[in-house]
Chains A and B, each alone.
Chain A
Amino acid sequence: MVRNTLKALAVIGGLLAASALPAAAAGPYVPIPDTRFSFDGIFGAFDRASAQRGFQVYKETCAACHGMRLLSYRHLRELGFTEQQVAAIASQFQVVDGPNDEGQMFERPARASDRFRSPFPNRQAARAANNGAYPVDLSIITKARAGGADYIYALLTGYQDPPPGVEMMEGMHYNRYFPGHMIAMARPLMPDQVTFADGTPATVENMARDVTTFLAWAAEPELEQRRAMGVKVILFLTVLAGLVYAVKRRIWADVH
């Protein structure tokens, strides 16, 4: 019954949302395929092993250009890393601190409490190093793109040769799912680009799935707690609705 209620609500929500959906961007529209993730559905949860591998992919590949400035290293504890592991991860990065007692800024290894170090000191430096294109911050990227995690996975696996007749601009790459299909980011994932400690084969699909899981967690770290709380709240309210309705019927019994 709860399930049906939720389904009905989802349908209502969907109808409401449909009226608010922005139109597709210019260019031939390619529907984003629905990818199954560990965190799909009401009872879905982030696959921790996958998210940890995803962090490795981010750290060794994406982080060369993309920052995640809204996250702190300490947040990685939620992915199952121990306090020592987090401290070790953080200490690999040098961050600027200061000023010290002499008034000088200085570099020191990052601590768990530090924000993720961004690869570029500012937006201009990021553009200058990337042919004028700005590598976006990935902290909440799955919330910031229509299609969410499905879109990110599709984008990472959507690189291909341009179809015949399509003239590519200088320094651009063809991607099946990018709006307009011309993306400045070169294909980021190549087979066996990283080596996973748990022996998972580093195929493009595996890496894309893992890093998407990591990014989805980074964007919505509250997701599991939120849904768990939601199930309890809705169950409680459904029972309460029955009780209140019974009371109402009782009170109104003598009126009809």
Chain B
Amino acid sequence: MAIGLHDSDFKNPVVRWIDQRMPVFTLMQKEYGSFPTPRNFNYFWNFGALAMVNLMIMIATGVFLAMHYTPHTAYAFDSVDRIMRDVNFGWLIRYVHMNGAHMFFIVVFIHIWRGMYYGSYKAPRELLWILGVIIFLLMMATAFMGYVLPWGQMSFWGATVITNLFSAFPIVGDWIVSLLWGGFSVDNPTLNRFFALHYLLPFLIVGVVFLHVVALHITGSNNPLGVEPKGPKDTLPFHPYYTAKDSFGLVIYFIVFAALVFFAPNILGHAENNIPADPLVTPPHIVPEWYFLAFYAILRAVPDKLGGVLLMFGAIAVLFVLPWLDRSPVRSMRFRPMARIAFLLWTVSFFVLTYCGAMPADEPYVTISRFATAYYFAYFLVILPLLGRLEKPLPLPESISRAVLGGGGGPLPAGAAAKPMEKA
């Protein structure tokens, strides 16, 4: 081997020539080929790959939409309708993009839920988790600005309500709002900058996703048992085992996606947004998209504007410090009988908040939202820190292979026997 060249294992002369000078093939082989992956993933571990595919779909369809879209208050609504009516397969591209946003949030919500249930945020994966929360925040900003672009009634009034939230901050509030608007109300400059940012942010997401994957490939994946792999018996090469398993999950995801796009493309949207934006007519109910409803309910649960805004942002900010709030050394909720119930109740509170967010800000929904909000925060700030000290976890399996393969010699630890791993 010549000095300065990478020592490549590839036989194909062309691949070898490239790999010696730029070892991308070695890198792919290491990170996605032979990468040692815990052997006991269940189907919840598909959702990271699904989110990655979803991001690519959003960028691909978004680029084509941008070729036909006009970011001007006088033309935006009509240009979107022209995409639906006259652009070849424009309806398909737009409905994939629109429902792709819904699918993205479904996938990412499940992905985050998975991380919380199996304790994937705990050491040594804290930074991996934090990068994930940053991606989630960027996604929310991107989705919000994307929803403004068709310039329908809900686009305009949603933008007005949400941007106005920033005015609650003392001193800098009004300045931030003018900056977002590019003027003194939601108008053409707002639409222009939202379009520019809606195009920019997905590429920032790609960047943070890259870091998310880098961090993942240092620590390796968590798994349903939350026990670190102790040797080659506990792992499988990523390819072909998990490429095959992810492929199956991907096809199922495509079926759900296709059912939405082809048979119910508007079911998750608001009819109101098919009315062109009119600054003089307020819709009867201004409701955000379903994926923001839980946070919207938290906002409305607080009688004080600034308090509501802080709590709404706090609902996400608290995720950043989750690794340090949960001090239990046990990752997976399978072995945490009390935390498991507390977390499932937290999940219920999230659904309750989502439901209340869709309802008018009247009784009984406000009171229900307050209880659900209280529990949402209590789980993070009170229950988890306390359980870290008080809870007695079930005994952990000795290793992944012991738990998965069962009679691999020697008596099984009680915990593993009580909770046999399903063969996925």
Q: Do A and B bind each other?
A: yes
Contacts of A241 in B (CB 8 A): 248, 251-252, 255
Q: Which of B251, B263, B270, B272 contacts A6 (CB under 8 A)? A: B263
- With a CB–CB cut-off of 8 A, which chain B residues contact A172? none
Are the C-beta atoms of B284 and A25 separated by less than 8 Å? yes
Measured between alpha carbons, how far is A222 from B262 in the docked complex, in Å? 10
* Set of chain A residues within 8 Å of B259, measured between Cβ atoms: 6, 9-10, 13, 230, 234
Task: Give A75 Cβ to nearest chain B Cβ, in Å.
Answer: 7
Residues of chain B at interface, number, CB under 8 A: 50
Interface residues of A in 125-168 (CB under 8 A from B): 136, 139-140, 143-146, 148
Q: Would you call B85 an interface residue if the criterion is a C-beta within 8 Å of the partner chain's C-beta atoms?
A: yes
Are A226 and B92 interface neighbours, CB within 8 A? yes
Determine whether A221 belongs to the interface, using a CB cutoff of 8 Å to chain B: yes
Q: Does A49 contact B (CB under 8 A)?
A: no
Query: Please, which residues of chain A bring their CB within 8 A of the CB of B287?
Result: 20, 22
Chain A nearest Cβ from B358, distance in angstroms = 6
Contact partners of B241 in chain A: CB under 8 A:
251-252, 255
Say what secondary structure dominates the interface of chain B.
Answer: helix
Find A248's partner among B247, B254, B258, B270 (CB 8 Å cutoff): B247
Q: Contacts of A140 on B, CB cut-off 8 Å?
A: 81, 274
Q: With A23-B285, A244-B251, A251-B241 as given contacts, are A256 and B423 in contact (CB-CB < 8 Å)?
A: yes
Chain B residue contacts of A16, Cβ below 8 A: 267-268, 290
- Interface members, chain A 55-81 (any B CB < 8 Å): 70-71, 75
Let me know if B244 is at the binding interface, CB within 8 A.
yes
Q: Say if the beta carbon of A233 comes within 8 Å of chain B.
A: yes
Q: A158 CA to B84 CA in the complex, in Å? A: 31
Q: Are B81 and A10 in contact (CB under 8 A)?
A: no
Q: Is B124 an interface residue (CB 8 A)?
A: no
Closest-by-CB residue of A relative to B243 is A251
Which of B252, B274, B289, B360 is packed against the most chain A CB atoms within 10 Å?
B274
Check A48 for interface membership: any CB of B closer than 8 A: no
Contacting residues, chain A, for B289 (C-beta < 8 A): 20
* Minimal beta-carbon separation of B22 from chain A (angstroms): 31
Bound together, the chains give a CA A221 to CA B355 distance in angstroms of 33
Output the least CB separation between B320 and chain A (Å).
Answer: 27
| Choice from A14, A143, A240, A247 contacting B271 with Cβ under 8 Å | A143
Q: Chain B residues with Cβ under 8 A from A222's Cβ?
A: 84-85, 91
Tell me whether B81 and A70 are in contact (CB under 8 A).
yes
Is residue A42 contacting chain B, with contact meaning CB distance below 8 A? yes
Nearest CB of chain A from residue B19's CB, rounded to whole Å: 26
A23 touches B256 (CB 8 A): no
Q: Is the CB of A226 within 8 A of B91?
A: yes
CB neighbours (8 Å) of B148 from chain A are: none
A26 contacts the other chain (CB 8 A): yes
- Residue of B81, B248, B285, B359 touching A139 (CB-CB under 8 A): B81
Most buried by B among A25, A42, A144, A221: A144
Tell whether, in the assembled complex, residue A255 and residue B258 are in contact, meaning their CB atoms are under 8 Å apart: no
Contact of B251 with A240 in the complex, beta carbons under 8 Å? yes
Q: Which chain A residues border B275 with CB–CB below 8 Å? A: 136, 144
Evaluate contact between B284 and A234: CB separation under 8 angstroms.
no
Q: Tell me which residues across on chain B come within 8 A of A42, comparing CB atoms.
A: 263
Q: A20-B293, A22-B270 are in contact. Are A230 and B262 (CB under 8 A)?
A: yes
Q: Are A26 and B284 in contact (CB under 8 A)?
A: yes
In the bound assembly, the distance between CA atoms of A179 and B270 in angstroms comes to 17
A105 interfacial by beta-carbon distance below 8 Å? no
Scoring A9, A10, A42 by chain B CB atoms within 10 A of each residue's CB, the highest score goes to A9
Distance of B180 from chain A, by nearest CB (Å): 25
Chain A residues contacting B142 (CB-CB under 8 Å) are none
| Residues of A contacting B256 in the complex (Cβ-Cβ under 8 angstroms) | 9, 12
A120 to chain B, nearest CB (A): 16
Check A21 against B358 for contact (C-beta < 8 Å). Answer: yes
Q: Which of A20, A230, A238, A251 contacts B244 (CB 8 A)?
A: A251
Task: Let me know if A144 and B244 touch, CB within 8 A.
Answer: no
Is A248 in contact with B261, judged by CB distance below 8 angstroms? no
Closest chain A residue to B291 by CB distance? A20
Q: Which residues of B contact A238 (CB under 8 A)?
A: 255
Residues of chain A lying within 8 A (CB to CB) of residue B270: 20, 22
Closest to A140 in B: B274
Residues of A within 8 A of B360 (CB): 23
A104 interfacial contact with B, CB 8 Å: no
**CB proximity of A17 to chain B, nearest CB, Å:** 5
Give me 27 A-to-B residue pairs in the complex whose CB atoms sit less than 8 angstroms apart, sorted by A's number.
A9-B255, A9-B256, A10-B263, A16-B267, A16-B290, A19-B358, A20-B293, A22-B272, A22-B285, A23-B285, A23-B359, A70-B85, A71-B85, A136-B275, A179-B284, A227-B262, A229-B92, A230-B263, A237-B254, A237-B255, A241-B248, A241-B251, A241-B255, A244-B247, A244-B248, A244-B251, A251-B244
Mark B residues whose CB is within 8 Å of A. 39, 78, 81-82, 84-85, 91-92, 95, 236, 240-241, 244-245, 247-248, 251-252, 254-256, 258-268, 270-272, 274-275, 284-285, 287, 289-290, 293, 351, 354-355, 358-360, 423
Beyond the given pairs A20-B290, A251-B244, 17 more chain A to chain B contacts, judged by CB atoms under 8 angstroms and listed by A's residue number, are A5-B255, A20-B287, A21-B358, A26-B284, A70-B81, A140-B274, A143-B271, A143-B274, A179-B284, A222-B91, A226-B92, A230-B261, A233-B258, A234-B262, A237-B258, A244-B251, A248-B247
